Amino acid sequence: MNQKEKPTELSYYGLYLLSHLKENHPDKAHDAAFIESHSDHAADVYEQARLEGYLPEGAHELAMAALLEGLRFSKYDTIIEVLWNECSDEVAQSDAPSVALRLQPSLEGIFSQYPLSDDFAYSPEYEQLYTELTGAILILLEEDGI
């Protein structure tokens, strides 16, 4: 077994992040280096906050914010939302996660046109993204014969 394949023990933050990634960013869930660096950063934030006098709850809140920074908006979840709301005749809800994973690479060009951030879903531009995704997804589904 080489170094890359060796299972590593994950910290609390690592386990939490892995769970979050599996649910919202499955394309990142297998990136051990990403998980390790983000969970280490969160642990450092917690430790620094405690040294600065934060109570454990406050330090934990800061660490969780650092852990999930840049991961609150999910392209994958947005695609699933479109599939559920706009394509329910073409794709069963139970199939939406696997279809979303297949479609996501083809939709990166659309996502790249927007300033995606943690709070993007609450911006006026989200509606435009949603509309563009709906059209592109319907075309892709028709082309794939789904």
pLDDT, tens digit, for every residue of 87-137? 999 999 999 999 999 999 999 999 999 999 999 999 999 999 999 999 999
Query: Tell me, what amino acid is at 81?
Result: E
Return the number of other C-beta atoms located less than 10 Å from residue 113's C-beta. Answer: 11
Q: How many CA atoms, within 13 angstroms, populate the side-chain half-sphere of residue 15?
A: 4
Mean pLDDT calculated for residue range 5-27: 85
Query: What pLDDT score does 2 carry?
Result: 40
User: Which positions ≥6 away from 36 have C-beta within 8 Å?
Assistant: 8, 14
pLDDT at 9 exceeding the cut of 50: yes
Distances (CA, A) of 139 to 36, 112, 117, 132: 38, 19, 26, 11
